[in-house]
A = this chain, B = another copy of it.
Amino acid sequence: MIMDDAMSVIEIISKKRDGAPLSEKEIRYFIDGFVAGDIADYQMSAFLMAVVLNGMTGVETVAMTRAMMESGILLEFAPSDGPLIDKHSTGGVGDKISLMLLPIAIECGLRVPMISGRGLGFTGGTLDKLESIPGLKTDLAPDRFAELVEMLGGCFGAQTEEIVPADRKIYALRDATATVRSVPLITASILSKKFAEGISGVVIDVKCGRGAFMQKADEARDLAESLEMVGREMGRGIRTVITSMEQPLGHSAGNALEVIEAVSVLSGKGPGDCTELTHRLVAEMLLLGGLVQTQEEGMERSAEAIASGRALDRFARIVEAQGGELDLGGEDLGLPAAPVIKAGLAPRSGHVAMIDARLMGELIRGLGGGRFEVGDEIDPTVGFRLHKKKGDKASRGDKLFEVHARNDIDAERAARKMLEGISIIDDPVSSPQLFL
């Protein structure tokens, strides 16, 4: 048996190396063997590199998604209590949309069993942002997670050992072996986790630009098409939206700062781009769930949930149920704050033409707000607040941003570097397009 297994593993890697398509059976054998520990990390990583370079057919991508999804437990919910729809973003800088979208979508009649990830690389993670709220727990056991979805319509969960173990193991390798950028691997990673949540549909915000993993429009389109194809083949609803990630989303980036911004959106006082994107994604979810007929209707329902105060109330109840202590009336909501805040001033007058989102993400990581390695501790307080965004007029000496840091040296250094990533030109700059 050992002989047969060893030969099959090498044959499967060889086939992918030579560009031949793998059967569903071969892909399942490979994924199951890896999760069981019979196939070594180094064999998986050679396979992953072959996939990055030779790609996968649609049939292979579906097989990979299904095999990964079925590597762990599959959540199930009673079918009667409203459509189960989730949202996923491929990740960007300042992307805190999930935080406000979840309570709004619930108030609009959906159930949202959202399982989110942590930040790695230059983009933040929803769980890290939430965990800047004192006491809040995201590592919910499957039973408790299901209970909260039943009780409150949804909650913010972390991927546990039991759910899609294949993805956790594979992702850790991809991150360490330069095999992250691959449309079929990204597709399988996203959809295996989302579909294991027991949802009937998912809206995917494919981020595109310097502050995202997909830097070019055609890569983003390829990913969107791949996601839609796999969703169709697996009998689940999928809608994709491609949005710009050239400059950071909203005015804040950094964990606690983004929670504060999320609450401001839920209070009807948030930045325009965040608010608009939230309404649009909620509308897509409602369309998928069959609760509205048009995008406009969906966006109105989303806006109502904010205007009525119901969404903020729902958010507060979910945070509380997950153990979080948020002081909605207090300064900075009672979240931990950085000891040093330093302003970055415009070195000249003109119009803001570019704010490098990727640079900001990297600087936040350097300030202690992100991870270089899995398991690194995160400082929730550090980050940036933007006072100007692309298209805005600025006079020399105007405050472009504030950096929140642990000490003066960090703050100085990050402010100086960030200024290099902001360009101010004479000619007027049109406001950037959010939807691509």
Residue of B nearest to A3 (CB): B372
A42-B173, A45-B46, A372-B6 known; A178+B13 contact, CB < 8 A:
yes
**CB pair B41 A6 closer than 8 Å:** no
A42-B177, A177-B43 known; A17+B48 contact, CB < 8 A:
no
Which B residues are in CB contact (< 8 Å) with A176?
Answer: 6, 9-10, 40, 42-43
A296 at the interface (CB under 8 A from B): no
Interface string of A35-64 (1 = CB under 8 A from B): 000001111111111101110000000000
**CB pair B46 A177 closer than 8 Å:** yes
Q: What is the count of identical protomers in the complex?
A: 2
Which B residues are in CB contact (< 8 Å) with A50?
Answer: 49, 53
Which B residues are in CB contact (< 8 Å) with A373?
Answer: 2-3, 6
Report, as a range, how many residues of chain A touch the other chain.
20 to 34
Residue of B nearest to A177 (CB): B46
A116 at the interface (CB under 8 A from B): no
Which B residues are in CB contact (< 8 Å) with A179?
Answer: 17, 46
- Complex Cα distance A17/B3, Å? 31
Which B residues are in CB contact (< 8 Å) with A44?
Answer: 42
A14 at the interface (CB under 8 A from B): yes
Contact of A178 among B2, B17, B54, B173 (CB under 8 A): B17
A46-B46, A178-B10, A179-B46 known; A17+B52 contact, CB < 8 A:
yes
Which B residues are in CB contact (< 8 Å) with A52?
Answer: 17
Chain B nearest Cβ from A33, distance in angstroms: 13
- Complex Cα distance A49/B17, Å? 8
Taking each of A3, A44, A177, which has the highest tally of chain B beta carbons within 10 Å of its own beta carbon? A177
Chain B nearest Cβ from A284, distance in angstroms: 34
Residue of B nearest to A44 (CB): B42
Contact of A41 among B3, B7, B42, B48 (CB under 8 A): B42
- Complex Cα distance A85/B252, Å? 68
Which B residues are in CB contact (< 8 Å) with A40?
Answer: 41-42, 176
Chain B nearest Cβ from A213, distance in angstroms: 13
Chain B nearest Cβ from A110, distance in angstroms: 39
Which B residues are in CB contact (< 8 Å) with A178?
Answer: 10-11, 13-14, 17, 46
Taking each of A3, A9, A45, A53, which has the highest tally of chain B beta carbons within 10 Å of its own beta carbon? A45
- Complex Cα distance A40/B44, Å? 13
- For the complex with contacts A13-B177, A41-B41, A42-B173, 10 further pairs of A-B residues with Cβ separation under 8 Å are A2-B373, A6-B176, A10-B177, A11-B178, A17-B53, A43-B176, A46-B49, A46-B179, A49-B53, A53-B53
Which residues of A does B touch, CB under 8 Å? 2-3, 6-7, 9-11, 13-14, 17, 40-50, 52-54, 173, 176-179, 372-373
- Provide 22 A-B residue pairs closer than 8 Å at the C-beta atoms, listed in order of the A residue: A3-B372, A3-B373, A6-B373, A7-B372, A10-B178, A13-B177, A17-B53, A17-B178, A17-B179, A40-B41, A42-B45, A42-B176, A43-B176, A43-B177, A45-B46, A45-B49, A46-B46, A46-B49, A46-B179, A49-B50, A49-B53, A53-B54
